[in-house]
Amino acid sequence: MEAAKDWWIYRGTGTVEEKRARLGEHRPPWREFKGEPDPEYRPPTTSGPAWTETYERGDGYVPDDAEVDAVNTALYLRRPLLVTGKPGVGKSTLAHSIAADLELGPVLHWPVTSRSSLRDGLYQYDAIGRLHDANLRHLETGRGAPGRREPGHRPRSSGSTIAPYLRLGPLGTALLPQERPRVLLVDEIDKSDIDLPGDLLTVFEEGSFEIPELARIAARQPRVRVGTQDGPETRVGIDGGRVQCRAFPIVVLTSNGERDFPPPFLRRCIRLHVEPPSEEKLTRIVRKRLGLDESTGEDRYQDLIEDFIARRTEGDLATDQLLNAVQLRLSGAWSGPGERADFLNTVLQRLTGPLA
């Protein structure tokens, strides 16, 4: 990678505080949001196991200039970054790299499947659990089934709150109003139902969403504290059943290219295609991820990089397969004189194409 460009925030020059300050200053007037933070809400900081996992995964990422350019473009414009490429090229790790570089706390992760809906990302409501608890309370009070109330009976206030049964999803948590943005990884969005990309448009445009279950009770319960993705004990106040962001989250959407997306969705994203890494980049990745320096001697693993590239021409391989191979080599495993072919076929087994 070349020297940092003056306009870069991610992988740019200066301290973390200076880079985050530049991010806050350069905000398009059409992407300003006015959510008011809950002073009692404390999102995770740069400490604890979740942050350690994010940092260790992201710190080892080796981006090209084109990737850094695309990330910073998305940061300046407050737009989602749609990252495409073959499996194993590091698309998901890029989100962790952004969080680690700007010290934005643990990445919020939404793994998308064919059954995922917009509401899954925004919030979960355990209606069955609430009904079950209500039945138990009626049984405990000896009043019989919920539908057979005595004249003048009024429900107990302890069971009237919906808060214990609501929890914000990864997208919903990312949209909470904060001065500092959160990083959200929406993984493999190409596996989603055909409607999900379109459903996301309004949320990405407005930076807000409504929770109907809270909006219906807003007159008698204007503020309800609900759970978040930050942990079982972390709760946040929601006013009037609506969440409105302040700092638009840094959204990284990954796709393996298994489907096309509608033009309105693509228009609202900054697109980045990640190519399989070159030999030079693979060498940098191996050094960075395994903590090696030039004194280790490239002769101990350079042949594995060459084997990796050769086998990749006949079928897809993931970069972490190469890291596994180098790690085994450095550990002295598979060191028998006649084991090389079996070693390569075991550790560098193609994801597509011929198996051997």
At 218 the pLDDT is 94
Could you read off the pLDDT of 40-86 as tens digits, one per residue? 999 998 888 999 999 999 998 999 999 999 999 999 999 999 999 99
Per-residue pLDDT tens digits for 92-125: 999 999 999 999 999 999 999 999 999 999 999 9
Residue spans of alpha helices (H) in 108-211: 118-122, 127-140, 170-174, 196-206
pLDDT at 248 over 90: yes
Does residue 155 have a pLDDT over 70? no
What CATH number should be reported for the domain whose range is 16-123+163-273? Answer: 3.40.50.300
- Amino acid identity, position 347: V
Average pLDDT of the chain to the nearest whole number = 90
Contacts 24+ apart (CB under 8 A), 125-134: 125/162, 125/165, 125/166, 125/213, 126/165, 126/166, 127/165, 129/165, 130/162, 130/164, 130/165, 133/159, 134/159
**How far is it between the farthest Cα atoms of the chain?**
88
- Percent of the chain scoring above 70 in pLDDT: 92
The two three-digit tokens of residue 40, written as one number: 């009692």
Q: Each residue of 267-280: pLDDT tens digit?
A: 999 999 999 999 99
In which band, very low, low, confident or very high, does the pLDDT at 355 lie, cut at 50, 70 and 90? low
Residue ranges per domain, the chain? 16-123+163-273, 279-347
Q: In the 8-state DSSP scheme, what is residue 192?
A: S
CB 283 within 8 A of CB 267: no
Phi, psi of 174 (to 5 degrees): -65, -30
Place 133 in a pLDDT band, splitting at 50, 70 and 90.
confident
Closest CA to 258 of 185, 186, 189: 189
Q: Which tens digit of pLDDT belongs to each residue from 279-321?
A: 999 999 999 998 887 666 667 889 999 999 999 998 899 999 9
Q: CA-CA distance, 303 to 231, in Å (whole number)?
A: 45
DSSP label at 176? S
Confidence of residue 157 (pLDDT cuts 50, 70, 90): very low
Please give the structure tokens belonging to residue 105. Answer: 């706390």
pLDDT top residue among 30 and 155:
30
pLDDT surpasses 80 at 261: yes
Could you tell me if 274 and 240 are in contact, meaning their C-beta atoms sit under 8 angstroms apart? no
The pTM for the full model equals: 0.89
